[in-house]
Amino acid sequence: MGSLAESPKANVLIVGSGGVGTMAAYSLEKGGKARVTAVLRSNFAAVEKNGFQINSLDHGNIQGWRPSEIMNSIPDVSKQHNIRPYDYVVVTTKNIADVSPGVSEIIAPAISPGHTTIALVQNGLNIERRVIEAFPSNPVISGVSFIGATEGPKGTIKHDDHDVLIVGAFKNPNISPDVSETSAKRFVELYGSCAGIDCMYEPDVKFTRWRKLLYNSSYNTVATILHMDTSRMRVSEHIIDDLIRPIMMEIRAAAAAAGVNLPLELIDKMIFADTFEAFFKPSMLQDIERGNYIEFENIVGEPLREAERLGVPAPTLRVVYGMLRGIQWKVREAKGLVKVPTSPGGLKYGGANVKRNVT
């Protein structure tokens, strides 16, 4: 359980061991400078029995691999005194901001105030705000991952796109910027010690996150709404012209108003980011096909709110956001969290007194 008498390797807890989290755990352990505990949920039994089966572009075919330790729940460092305080808690779960419990609530038992660095290897904008509010004395760092890694079946990882991780420090007003930056650079050292991957420090966190939104706010969302892979979108042409490119331009305009200059040439670069032969389904589409929640708030809702706050028109984002809220509502209903009443009493649009002009 991370004994206090162990070697001075960094003690790392990874929360979320799907494709991205498992490859992060593997890279950190293989680099030799970290001891990793991975928190598993639905795949715990499979990995406990057989380990991970990994088919990796960077590392080859790996059978039966496990990190130093696996757990099926978040450890409580205040109660389990044989656990050495975690130097890093790395969160690689999907960030479902509109569904409780949130990230801060989930990781709270594992955080040692003033010691643990929280690394958010997650998509989206403003994801650090609630975490800094919950843990004001802890450094919070940003990880923007460009890896291609998926799990299926449980415990089996397909890693088919090179592992690139860009790390920087979020601004925590409660602690010195030097502390956060040092924690971020130390994490780059830990992760980058593994051969075959690219991990780099980037001081401009805002640029990195707005840049990735060009893809995630457009392809990821439209694919989910239309149930369409990126190759078919490009064949259609009008989906690119009517939806993908306008969303990217709205993101670029909002970023500019927020002080982030995304070069115009990035638009075409992102449109052609996926190889045509891949017929790639972005992660949000994969989630909805599995009946899972989608992480739309931080990749559409937050940039939309930023655009509106700064007076930047974002009509396409607004429509896409409304559609994704509807899709999430359907997932909630399927999971039994929304009950549709048999009578309309009290509902804004459920009553019979609404006037309708029907011709």
CATH code for position 16: 3.40.50.720
Q: Say if residues 124 and 109 touch (Cβ distance below 8 Å).
A: no
What integer pLDDT is reported at residue 224 of this predicted model?
98
Q: Say if residues 214 and 270 touch (Cβ distance below 8 Å).
A: yes
Shared domain check, 223 and 75:
no
pLDDT confidence bin for 356, thresholds 50/70/90: very low
Shared domain check, 165 and 144:
yes
Q: What is the DSSP string of 51-110?
A: -EEEEETTTEEEEEE--SEEESS---TTT-TTSPPPSEEEE-S---TTSSS-HHHHHGGG
User: Tokens representing 153?
Assistant: 């079946």
Assigned domain for 2 exists:
no
- Split into its structural domains, the chain has a count of 2
Q: Over the stretch 123-135, which tens digit does the pLDDT of each residue have? A: 999 999 999 999 9
Shared domain check, 228 and 246:
yes
Cα angle: 259, vertex 261, 262; to 5 degrees: 140
Assigned domain for 73 exists:
yes
Shared domain check, 260 and 232:
yes
Shared domain check, 168 and 29:
yes
Shared domain check, 172 and 115:
yes
Assigned domain for 358 exists:
no
Assigned domain for 344 exists:
no
Last residue of a domain, one of 160, 176, 203: 203
Q: Which of 148, 170, 168 is nearest to 159 (CA)?
A: 148
Give the distance, in angstroms, between the CA of residue 252 and the centroid of all CA atoms in the same chain.
21
Shared domain check, 279 and 149:
no
What integer pLDDT is reported at residue 342 of this predicted model?
84
Assigned domain for 224 exists:
yes
pLDDT confidence bin for 351, thresholds 50/70/90: low
Shared domain check, 128 and 196:
yes
Does the pLDDT value for residue 354 go beyond 50?
no
User: Tokens representing 254?
Assistant: 């909002």
Assigned domain for 323 exists:
yes
Does the pLDDT value for residue 5 go beyond 80?
no
Q: Over the stretch 314-331, which tens digit does the pLDDT of each residue have? A: 999 999 999 999 999 999
Assigned domain for 342 exists:
no
Q: Over the stretch 84-106, which tens digit does the pLDDT of each residue have? A: 999 999 999 999 999 999 999 99
Shared domain check, 229 and 190:
no
pLDDT confidence bin for 7, thresholds 50/70/90: low
Does the pLDDT value for residue 266 go beyond 60?
yes
Shared domain check, 140 and 34:
yes
Shared domain check, 182 and 58:
yes
Tell me the residue range of the domain where 79 lies: 10-203
Question: pLDDT > 70: what percent of the chain?
Answer: 96
Assigned domain for 235 exists:
yes
Shared domain check, 152 and 222:
no
Q: Say if residues 259 and 206 touch (Cβ distance below 8 Å).
A: yes
Report if pTM > 0.85.
Answer: yes
Q: Over the stretch 38-74, which tens digit does the pLDDT of each residue have? A: 999 999 999 999 999 999 999 999 999 999 999 999 9
Give, to the nearest 10 degrees, the angle between helix 315-334 and helix 245-257. 110
CATH number where 311 lies = 1.10.1040.10
User: Tokens representing 183?
Assistant: 């924690």
